[in-house]
Amino acid sequence: MNQPKVKRRVGKYEVGRTIGEGTFAKVKFARNSETGDPVALKILDKEKVLKNKMAEQIRREVATMKLITHPHVIHLYEVMGSKTKIYIVLEFVTGGELFDKIVNHGRMRENEARKYFQQLINAVDYCHSRGVYHRDLKPENLLLDASGNLKVSDFGLSALSQQVRDDGLLHTACGTPNYVAPEVLNDRGYDGATADLWSCGVILFVLLAGYLPFDDSNVMNLYKKISSAEFTCPPWLSFSARKLIARFLDPNPMTRITVSEILEDEWFKKDYKPPVFDEKEDTNLDDVEAVFKDSEEYHVTEKREEQPVAMNAFELISMSKGLNLGNLFDEEFKRETRFTSRCSPSEIINKIEEAAKPLGFDVHKKNYKMRLENVKAGRKGNLNVATQVFQVAPSLHMVEVRKAKGDTLEFNKFYKNLSTCLEDVVWKTEEDMQAK
C-alpha cells in the first residue's frame, strides 16, 4: 500500500506540505531537524523576483522584518538562498486564522473584538514606526497562536512589488478590494500607513458586524462605495464603536484617524495593556546580505529523498482540529477540507479526477498532488483547487482539498459537489455508519 514520495530537505529543515500560496511565493510547513521546532518556509522563485525587479525591495523588507521582534507579528528567523530559490524561515502558529473564527462563530462581542483589535493596532504601529507597511491587511492575514493571541502574518512581505516613487508615495493598487483604502484605488499615490489604518477599520467593522462594510458583486459599484465611504453600522454596535469605525473609514487620508488618536479613543483604550517585550539589539543580517549577493559559497543544500508518503502526529494535529478527519461532508464555510480513505493513493487520485472533470475542471497531476483549474472564470478569476494525498498509516490515507486561487464561496460550492461523488472513497467509521 505504501507509495513512494520524494522527501525534501533544505539545509537543516525537513520540508512538508504546502500551507499557502501567493503570486510570487509558496509557503510550506517545515521542521528544524536540529531542534524539532516547526516553522513556516516561504519559498520565492529567483527568476520571478529578478523579472519583476523586486530583488532590492525584498532584500530591504526581509532585513527590516528580521529586526522586528513583536509578540503580535510573525517572527522571521532566517533567510537562505539556492541557485533558483529564496527561502524565508518564519514562525509557525497553530491557532488558525481570525477569519475562520468569524466564519464559524459569527460576529464577536465588543470586549472580545477589542482585545484582538488592540493587538492588531499595536503590531501595526510598531511596524509603521520602522518603515514597514503591510498593504494587504485582512482577517485571513491575522493568525492566532496556541494561546489565542493575534499574530499578523506577511507584514512587509505581502506587496513585494510595491515601490515608493520620488513623491514618497506608493503607486500600485494592491490588496483585497473590500479592504483597500479609497486613495489606493484612485492611482494618485498613497501613504502606506494611512492605507493600512483604513484596512484596520474594515477589520474592526467585520469583527463587530460579522459582514463587510463595503461589498458588491460589481467591482465598479464596490469601488464607488469605498470611495464615498458608503456604509451603515448595524444597530447592535455601541455609539463609541460606531464613532471609532467612522474615523477609520474616512475617505480623506489627511483627516483619517492616526495611531496616537486611536490610543486616546474611549472605546479602544478600555482595558488596554500594551505588550511588554525586549527588542533585539544584536540581530545578524549576514544571511540576508549573502542571499541577495547570490554568492554560490552561501547557497543552501537542497536534498530530495524518496520514501513512503507519511505524516507525523504533529502535522496531523496541526492540520485538523480534534482529529475529526471525516469533515468532507461538514456544512461549514471553508477554504480547505480533509477526509480519510482506505483506498490506495492512485485510486483516490483517479476518483477525484473523475469527479472534477464533469464539474468543468482541468486536471493536472504530479506524484500524489493534483491541481484542478476551473476553465470558466468566476467572481475572482478561475477557481484553482489543490489536493494532496498523505499516508497516516500503512492502510489509511488523508486527503487535503484546498482552495489555491479564486473565490471562497465558489470553492465551498465545489467541494460540496465533489463530496457527493466520493461517497465510496471516504472512510466511514462504525459510528458514522450507525449515524446514517
Other CB atoms within a 10 A radius of the CB of residue 36 amount to 9
The string of DSSP letters for 252-309 reads -TTTS--HHHHHT-TTTTTT--PPP-PPPS----HHHHHHHHT-GGGPPPEEEEEEE-
Rounded distance between C-alpha atoms, residue 418 and residue 194, angstroms:
43
| Structure-block grid coordinates of residue 307 | 520514501
- Given strand 4-10, what is the order of strands in its sheet? 76-81, 85-91, 38-45, 25-32, 13-21, 4-10, 302-308
The span from the CA of 32 to the CA of 80, in Å, is 14
End-to-end Cα separation, the chain, in angstroms: 29
Q: Which of 178, 201, 184 is nearest to 249 (CA)?
A: 201
User: Is there a binding annotation on residue 42?
Assistant: yes
Task: Dig out the grid coordinates for 238 from the structure.
Answer: 455601541
Q: What does the buried/exposed string (b/e) look like for 80-112 if buried means 16 or more CB atoms within 10 Å of the residue's CB?
A: bbbeebbbbbbbbbebebbbbbbbeeebbebee
Closest CA to 302 of 6, 70, 54: 6
Extract the C-alpha cell encoding 360. 468543468
Q: How many CB atoms sit inside 10 A of residue 366's CB?
A: 7
CA atoms within a 13 Å half-sphere pointing along the CA-CB vector of 188: 4
Q: Any idea what DSSP says for residue 434? A: H
Residues tagged active-site: 136
Cβ atoms of 177 and 199 within 8 Å: the answer is: no
Binding residues for ATP: 42
Binding residues: 42
